[in-house]
């Protein structure tokens, strides 16, 4: 049978037209699961982010927006105050928090209440994170700042200590990077001139002292600048002085004209200089120009002629991040000549393609900007990231090399002088013998503000590590909003929302030292010099202290930011959605721990440019959100869904988005949240497609061409979400992602050992292992009912703190099965000196295993494996695959997920390819009948199956990007079931001529005749070529009487449709809204003998009309929107009914 015939048969089966529908299952019409599936409740329906763009808001527009959402099956909106350089288009701009703005917000809440919609609001203006103009500088995000004063004893020192930098920025006196802007295109129709902005005010700064620490320098240490090296460069006419002035607020430019392969900067010392570390401070440059960290090499030479490589500078990497200051360690080297050899910066072509959208002009000549270069003695390797000034996710490759204790700061030589410094910064101290450095340590601001918000809603990001400041922030903000919405607060207004983290990194708060002491169990004061790069005690001790420091930041972020906000809101009847903390490990946090603190954990995924796949960071973020929901007893895992950036299809139709959504659902997401449904202030037809979020999409408003047909897409997602909200996730494996910070589900590398095919898994964190997990009957169980058969520690999780090691021992002893490498030690300084107990537990639990010849060891009632694949371990436990399928095509790819609800097993299976699949599938279910639940139609039907050896085999036909639920809920009366098979036969092709009718006022002629079906873009008339919207095809065709006497079903196959179709035959709608291939409609009930009238409405998307308006010969602009996404030469998108249109008969045999 050809693929068209198979697709038609499948359509008939899912439509319940073969006597195999719900009634054939013998189920009660009162079945709650069926009712919820066929008519999903609001809890399963999608939500949408509702952006109010720079005050372009009207109450009539609010009502129209929300009525449309209700009409098409969107159950709630999450309001953002946004601004992408958006001009004023309305007569009166509603300024944030003015009485008019608050009245509009209350109107929205009242309308949400009337319509039964859930209303939420972002936790600050813009996207991220928790910020506003009421946040005082002392309440804002902080970083460590310090100054160094060198003294030599013995003597009495009386003097003023140098004041640490007080400026806002990432690090010391490095200035704030330029803010990304969103330039407003000139000449937008209807744009009104905004009043001139007020004169810019310098940002308020803040500094406070925290500690004064003195430490004795190792004997013989010499600073590079004390030898006054001669600095030269291959770059001519450049002042190299800023590279050795100890300041980071001045930079030099190192250009790379065309053909330049490298540039160098050389240091020539009067005598050999001993070095073990090189620090480079680059200019704070946007990623569009190649990132902040240059790539190249540090070399040394005895004579300045023959050079050897000391260390390679790889540029931005997972180990170093992209922080603009980095220290690279290397073996002790003594030489007179050192030089930095730089390679040309590589501009990321993806970022470069839309740099102008952010107001960034790429330099004509690639250029590296440098602020400081320093050679020194031993330092902590890459200490800037380890101390959480920047963000690093891969620490295994950047351990600090061992150095003799004589060359590092002894712990006993660190003295706390805090009490001796007067308020004016002067210090009186009897200096002991030796050379000493006095650190005046305090904290200044990172300078982070929320964005992209309207100017009136913009302010400092609150200190996320301070419970007091977060509490005050959320209290103030909540009170503002509750006052605005009045009686609807806690009624229709039910949630706040935190978007993905875009607030940078902070590494200090006022209470950091007592909080550290409480969480880690020791005083950090003697190790504070490590935060400036110094090695205290030993390289290992310093790295372990920094591990504790980052872990403390992560714990404070989870508890004091996400935890405090959620607790306070819950006390007032309000919940919190949060992408805590978002993709790409954006700050020093623990992703699962963050998500555990909020009511509805969220991830995000994007719609990639055509021909590309979404990034691994989005896949793992969805897995993390779902895992957090599973392991912390939360029923909903949400996702910011289908987000697009420049070069991606921001006007994508549902058929394009479906496989992305299916994959997210299969990863565990069960609440879809559309990211860009912007408030449309106008209610006429002249302002379409209307307000947008610029190049961020996909644009999904009441003004998209398919706005009314969107109900079919939303219902599909709601049916899927409904079933995936039932019961609990079924997973066999729990993967532990370690205790380091930052920590998130790894996306930058492959997990080893990899999860085996056919088995599902969750990720767990230390909090779950320590506080929630126990063992029952050999399974690892959680309080909310989740359980797993095997716990897996990936090979790179080979360091465990002593408390976690003890817990792992207890779990195995109680009967757990664990796959884990032999721990090499604790990463925490809190466990220093406890090696005897540590080694004893390791030897006890792992025995003599080496991970190669010996790879399993019994301990207590459980067993531990090392070096054995998890799939083999599960097989040895007689745990078969949960889901398997054959691969009839070389690229066959299905995604799936399994939920268990009472006596029901619910599997979602989706085809990820653009071709149909006929696959044999196997489910780990025995003794139950298989049913097919079709989320695109709501039809439920019996399936063929065969029960074999503990599994049930089910043959599935899946359309291109097709999906189905396979549900097992009734006891099987037989070990197998076969069903009648339909046979299809083509009866006719509906040829032209076709009449094609267009709506008025959109550029196309009212009527045209098509001799054959073609894409509108191939039609010679510009009005048709550039048309966007819905046009109607009509055609009369003959139906012989014998077609109707055969007893067969008569199916219309539309062939290729771009993008959505609705079919009527003799005035009777058939087939519903056809929004994805195959475009088939059963028209049996509507046909009569003789002449029949066929009407096909086809809707395309907006780009063609917008491109048409850009043509130089365009005399009229039909589309109205607030930015310019296309040019005259932008490619058109195929549109309309392309066919061939055919009639098939289908008969049961």
pLDDT(103) > 90: yes
CA distances from 202 to 162, 176, 1000 (A): 24, 12, 54
1137, with CB counted inside 10 A (0-12, 13-18, 19+), is buried
Residue-level pLDDT at 24: 41
Can you tell me which residue has the tokens 């195929």? 1134
* Residue 727: strand, helix, or coil: coil
287-312 mean pLDDT: 86
Residue 949's CB: how many other CB atoms inside 10 A? Answer: 8
Give percent of the chain above pLDDT 70.
96
Convert the pLDDT of each residue in 687-697 to its tens digit.
Answer: 999 999 998 99
Q: What is the mean pLDDT of the chain?
A: 94
- pLDDT at position 600: 99
Output the CA–CA distances (angstroms, integers) from residue 615 to 323, 584, 621, 639, in the order listed. 22, 10, 10, 15
Give the model's pLDDT for residue 179: 76
Q: What is the pLDDT of residues 876-915, one digit of tens each?
A: 999 999 999 999 999 999 999 999 999 999 999 999 999 9
DSSP reduced 3-state for 43:
helix
Sorted by where each begins, the domain ranges of the chain are 3-38+882-983, 42-138+452-501+580-726, 171-202+222-376, 733-876, 986-1148
For residues 288-299, average pLDDT: 78
pLDDT of residue 997: 99
Among residues 598, 585, 661, the alpha carbon closest in space to that of 633 is found at: 598
Residue 22 — pLDDT band, cuts 50, 70, 90? very low
Give the pLDDT of residue 6.
Answer: 53
* Predicted confidence band of residue 142 (pLDDT cuts 50, 70, 90): very high
For residue 417, the model assigns a pLDDT of 99
Check: CB of residue 878 under 8 Å from CB of residue 866: no
- Quick check: 576 and 615 in contact, CB under 8 A? no
- Return the minimum-mean-pLDDT range out of 10-19, 394-403, 452-461, 571-580: 10-19
Mean pLDDT of 351-369: 77
pLDDT of residue 14: 44
Which residues on neighbouring strands pair with residue 296, listed in sequence order?
313, 342
Q: 922-974: per-residue pLDDT in tens?
A: 999 999 999 999 999 999 999 999 999 999 999 999 999 999 999 999 999 99
CA-based end-to-end distance of the chain: 14
Phi then psi dihedrals of residue 789, to 5 deg: -90, -30
Instruction: Give yes or no for a contact between 75 and 50, defined as CB atoms under 8 angstroms apart.
Output: no
Burial (CB count within 10 angstroms: exposed 0-12, middle 13-18, buried 19+), residue 591: buried
Tell me what pLDDT residue 319 has.
Answer: 65
The fold of 42-138+452-501+580-726 is TIM Barrel (3.20.20)
Inter-residue contact 752 to 761 (CB < 8 Å):
no
Two domains, one topology: 171-202+222-376 and 986-1148: yes
Check residue 373 and give its pLDDT.
97
SS (H, E, C) 51-70: EEECCCCCHHHHHHHHHHHH
Cα dihedral sign, 513-517-519-520: positive
CATH of domain 3-38+882-983: 2.60.40.1180
Residue 1049: both structure tokens together: 């079903």
Task: Report the candidate in 617, 585, 601 with the shortest Cα–Cα distance to residue 742.
Answer: 585
pLDDT band at 17 (very low <50, low <70, confident <90, very high): very low
According to DSSP, the residues that pair with 953 across neighbouring strands are 922, 946
Residue 871: pLDDT band by 50, 70, 90 thresholds? very high
Is the pLDDT confidence value at 27 over 50? no
Residue 287 pLDDT exceeds 90: no
Neighbours of 350 (CB within 10 A): 14
Residue-level pLDDT at 409 = 98
Whether the predicted pLDDT of 290 surpasses 60: no
- Report whether 277 contacts 378 (CB < 8 A): yes
Helical ranges in 412-494 per DSSP H = 467-485
Whether residue 1081 is predicted with pLDDT greater than 70 in this model: the reply is yes
- Contacts of residue 834, defined as CB under 8 A and 6 or more positions apart, other chains included, come to 802, 826
How many CB atoms are located within 10 Å of the residue 490 CB? 12
Assigned token pair, 1110? 């850009």
The C-alpha atoms of residue 630 and residue 730 are separated, in whole angstroms, by 9
986-1148 belongs to which homologous superfamily? Answer: Galactose-binding domain-like (2.60.120.260)
CATH class (in words) of the domain with range 171-202+222-376: mainly beta
Residue 315 predicted with pLDDT over 90: no
Retrieve residue 930's tokens: 């298989």
pLDDT at 846 over 50: yes
Q: What is the pLDDT of residue 30?
A: 52
Lowest mean pLDDT among 2-16, 59-73, 420-434: 2-16
User: Peptide bond before 129: cis, by omega within 30 degrees of 0?
Assistant: yes
* pLDDT above 90: percentage of residues in the chain: 87
The pLDDT tens digits of the residues spanning 689-746 come to 999 999 899 999 999 999 999 999 999 999 999 999 999 999 999 999 999 999 999 9
So what's the pLDDT on residue 1107?
98
Strand ranges inside 701-826, DSSP E? 728-729, 733-736, 761-764, 774-776, 779-781, 787-788, 790-792, 817-819
**Higher-confidence residue: 451 or 702?**
702
Sign of CA dihedral 265, 271, 272, 275: negative
Stretch (H or E) spanning 988: strand 982-989
Q: pTM of the entire structure?
A: 0.96
pLDDT (0 to 100) of residue 610: 80
Q: What is the pLDDT of residue 1022?
A: 97
pLDDT surpasses 90 at 316: no
């Amino acid at each position: 049978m050809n693929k068209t015939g198979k697709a038609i048969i499948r359509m008939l089966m899912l439509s319940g037209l073969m006597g195999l529908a719900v009634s054939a299952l013998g189920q009660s019409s009162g079945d709650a699961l069926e009712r919820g599936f066929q008519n999903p409740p609001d809890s399963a329906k999608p939500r949408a982010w509702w952006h109010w763009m720079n005050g372009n808001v009207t109450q009539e527009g609010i009502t129209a927006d929300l009525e449309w959402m209700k009409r098409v099956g969107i159950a709630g909106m999450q309001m953002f105050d946004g601004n992408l350089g958006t001009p004023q288009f309305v007569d009166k701009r509603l300024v944030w928090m003015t009485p008019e703005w608050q009245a509009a917000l209350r109107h929205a809440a009242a309308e949400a209440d009337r319509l039964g919609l859930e209303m939420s609001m972002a936790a600050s203006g813009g996207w991220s994170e928790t910020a506003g103009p009421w946040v005082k500088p002392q309440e804002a995000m902080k970083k460590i700042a310090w100054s160094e004063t060198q003294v030599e004893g013995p003597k009495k020192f009386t003097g003023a200590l140098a004041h640490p930098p007080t400026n806002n920025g990432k690090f010391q006196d490095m200035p704030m990077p330029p803010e990304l802007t969103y330039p407003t295109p000139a000449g937008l129709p209807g744009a009104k001139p905004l009043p001139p902005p007020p004169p810019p005010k310098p940002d308020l700064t803040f500094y406070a002292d925290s500690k004064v620490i003195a430490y004795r320098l190792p004997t013989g240490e010499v600073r590079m600048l004390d030898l006054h090296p001669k600095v030269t460069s291959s770059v001519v006419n450049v002042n190299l002085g800023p590279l050795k002035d100890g300041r980071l607020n001045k930079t030099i430019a190192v250009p790379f004209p065309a053909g330049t392969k490298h540039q160098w900067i050389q240091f020539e010392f009067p005598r050999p200089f001993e070095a073990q570390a090189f620090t480079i401070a680059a200019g704070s440059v946007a990623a569009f120009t190649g990132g902040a960290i240059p790539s190249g090499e540090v070399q040394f030479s005895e004579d300045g002629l023959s050079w050897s490589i000391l260390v390679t500078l790889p540029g931005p990497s997972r180990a170093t991040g992209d922080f603009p200051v980095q220290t690279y360690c290397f073996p002790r080297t003594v030489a007179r000549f050192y030089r930095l050899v730089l390679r040309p910066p590589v501009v990321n072509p993806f970022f470069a393609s839309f740099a102008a959208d952010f107001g960034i002009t790429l330099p004509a000549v690639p250029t590296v900007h440098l602020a400081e270069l320093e050679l020194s003695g031993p330092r902590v390797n890459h200490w800037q990231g380890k101390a959480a000034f920047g963000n690093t996710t891969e620490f295994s490759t950047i351990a600090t090399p061992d150095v003799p204790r004589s060359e590092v700061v002894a712990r006993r030589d660190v003295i706390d002088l805090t009490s001796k410094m007067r308020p004016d910064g002067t210090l009186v101290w009897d200096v002991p013998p030796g050379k000493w450095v006095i650190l005046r340590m305090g904290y200044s601001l990172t300078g982070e503000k929320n964005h992209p918000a309207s100017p009136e809603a913009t302010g400092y990001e609150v200190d996320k590590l301070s419970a007091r400041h977060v509490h005050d922030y959320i209290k103030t903000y909540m009170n503002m909003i509750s006052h605005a919405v009045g009686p609807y607060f806690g009624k229709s207004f039910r949630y706040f929302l935190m978007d993905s983290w875009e607030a940078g990194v902070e590494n200090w708060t006022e209470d950091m030292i007592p909080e550290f002491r409480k969480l880690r169990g020791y005083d950090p004061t003697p190790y504070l010099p490590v935060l400036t790069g110094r090695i205290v005690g030993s390289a290992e001790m310093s790295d372990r202290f920094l591990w504790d420091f980052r872990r403390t930041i992560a714990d404070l972020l989870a508890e004091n930011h996400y935890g405090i906000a959620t607790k306070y809101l819950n006390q007032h009847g309000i919940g919190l959605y949060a992408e805590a903390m978002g993709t790409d490990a954006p700050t020093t946090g623990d992703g699962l721990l963050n998500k555990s603190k909020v009511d509805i954990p969220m991830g995000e995924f994007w719609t990639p440019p055509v021909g590309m796949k979404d990034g691994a960071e989005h896949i793992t973020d969805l897995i993390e959100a779902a895992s957090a929901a599973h392991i912390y007893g939360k029923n909903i895992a949400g996702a910011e869904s289908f987000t697009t950036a420049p070069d991606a299809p921001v006007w994508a139709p549902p058929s394009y988005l479906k496989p992305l959504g299916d994959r997210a659902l299969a990863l565990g997401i069960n609440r879809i949240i559309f990211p860009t449904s912007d408030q449309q202030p106008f209610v006429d037809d002249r302002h379409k497609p209307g307000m947008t979020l610029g190049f961020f999409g996909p644009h999904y408003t009441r003004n998209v061409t398919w706005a009314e047909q969107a109900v079919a897409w939303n219902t599909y997602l709601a049916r899927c979400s409904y079933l995936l909200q039932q019961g609990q996730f079924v997973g066999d494996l729990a993967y532990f992602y370690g205790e380091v910070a930052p920590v998130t589900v790894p996306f930058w590398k492959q997990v080893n050992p990899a999860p085996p095919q056919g088995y599902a898994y969750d990720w767990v964190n230390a909090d779950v292992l320590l506080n929630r997990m126990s063992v029952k009957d050999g399974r690892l169980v959680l309080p909310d009912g989740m359980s797993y058969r095997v716990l897996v520690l990936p090979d790179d999780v080979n360091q465990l703190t002593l408390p976690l090691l003890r817990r792992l021992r207890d779990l195995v002893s109680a009967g757990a099965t664990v796959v884990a490498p032999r721990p090499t030690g604790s990463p925490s300084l809190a466990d220093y000196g406890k090696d005897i107990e540590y080694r004893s537990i390791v030897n006890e639990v792992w025995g003599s295993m080496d991970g190669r010849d010996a790879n399993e060891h019994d301990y207590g009632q459980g067993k531990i494996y090392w070096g054995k694949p998890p799939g083999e371990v599960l097989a040895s436990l007689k745990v078969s695959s949960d889901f398997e399928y054959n691969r009839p095509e070389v690229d066959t790819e299905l995604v799936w997920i399994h939920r268990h609800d009472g006596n029901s097993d619910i599997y979602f299976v989706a085809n990820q390819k653009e071709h149909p699949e006929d696959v044999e599938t196997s489910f780990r279910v025995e003794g139950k009948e298989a049913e097919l639940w079709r989320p695109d139609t709501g039809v439920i039907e019996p399936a063929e199956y065969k029960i074999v050896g503990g599994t049930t085999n089910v043959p599935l036909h899946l359309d291109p990007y097709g999906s189905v639920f396979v549900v097992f809920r009734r006891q099987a009366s037989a070990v197998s079931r076969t069903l009648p098979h339909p046979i299809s036969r083509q009866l006719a092709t509906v040829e032209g001529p076709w009449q094609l009718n267009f709506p008025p006022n959109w550029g196309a002629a009212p009527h045209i005749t098509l001799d054959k079906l073609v894409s509108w873009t191939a039609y010679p008339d510009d009005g048709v070529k550039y048309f966007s919207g819905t046009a109607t095809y009509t055609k009369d065709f003959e139906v012989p009487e014998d077609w109707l006497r055969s007893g067969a079903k008569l199916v219309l196959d539309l062939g290729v449709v771009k993008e959505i179709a609705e079919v009527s035959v003799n005035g009777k709608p058939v087939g519903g809204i056809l929004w994805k291939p195959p475009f088939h409609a059963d028209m049996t009930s509507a046909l009569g003998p003789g002449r029949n009238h066929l009407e096909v409405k086809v809707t395309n998307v907006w780009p063609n009309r917008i491109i048409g308006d850009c043509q130089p010969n365009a005399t009229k602009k039909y589309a109205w929107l607030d930015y310019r996404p296309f040019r005259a030469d932008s490619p058109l998108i195929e549109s309309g009914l392309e066919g061939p249109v055919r009639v098939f008969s289908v008969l049961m045999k």
